With several copies, the nearest count.
Chain A
Amino acid sequence: MTNRKRILFVIGRTPGRGAINREVIDAVLVIAAFDQDVGVLFTGDGVLQLLRSTRASEDARDHAKALDALAMYDVTRIYVDAASLAARGLTSTGLALSPELLDPRDVATLIATHDAVIPG
């Protein structure tokens, strides 16, 4: 397909809400499989999807596996909103997927450099 677009997913929901977060990741993977240039930004309570712990529930481990599939589909542009982390008392240390840390100005630029933005 010659029609290669830059598509950004903006993920803002807490983890552990049932099937809905899984469905978002499935959409990311399918669009990546169509050979599009896909980025994923975690913002708001969505940043919590990047936390990991050794005592994770089965649910949380399943979601971690789904997120890890992103790299297999060459979705490697992963970003996290630094202000959302800070507002929740979190740091970027040890986050899954090694996201690029963006301040609000960077987020604006990120959005402005994509053809379409899909919330999740």
Chain B
Amino acid sequence: MATLHLINTAPATADALPRCLAASTAGDAIVLYEAGVLGAVDLRAESLPPGVALFIHGRDAHALHVADLIDPAFGLIDDRQLVSLVVAFERSVSWI
């Protein structure tokens, strides 16, 4: 049943992250990429819904210079790992 949620927009320019968090359930995972990585700056692992994992695309976190501002509890992933996640979860949802 588990879903992979993808977010590519910054918190200031979309309400995708709060809507996605509200619609995530235990076993789901969230990937922040492109400007979506900015959503991780204000986020702590404790504020995620229970049982929901969050990953951040390392390329984009570095491109936006925010890799050092992110809770180290969140894993940085690359495209190979993104592919693995897409395959591992039953469906992916891109929130716009």
**What is the minimal beta-carbon distance from B68 to any residue of chain A, in angstroms?**
7
Report how many A-B pairs have Cβ atoms within 8 Å.
Answer: 103
What is the bound-complex CA distance between A104 and B90, given in angstroms? 20
- Asked if B60 contacts A112 (CB within 8 A), the reply is no
Among A66-92, those with CB < 8 Å from B are 81, 83-84, 87-90
Partner of A117, one of B16, B19, B59, B91: B91
- Interface positions of B (Cβ within 8 A of A): 1-3, 10, 12-16, 19, 22-25, 28, 34-35, 38, 41-42, 59-60, 62-69, 90-96
- Beyond A88-B38, A111-B93, whether A53 also contacts B68 by CB under 8 A is yes
Instruction: Enumerate chain A residues within 8 angstroms of B63, measured Cβ to Cβ.
Output: 15-16, 56-57, 59-60
Query: A60 contacts B65, CB within 8 Å?
Result: yes
Nearest Cβ distance between residue B6 and chain A, in whole angstroms?
Answer: 9
Q: Which of B59, B92, B95 has the most CB of A within 10 A?
A: B95
Closest to A16 in B: B63
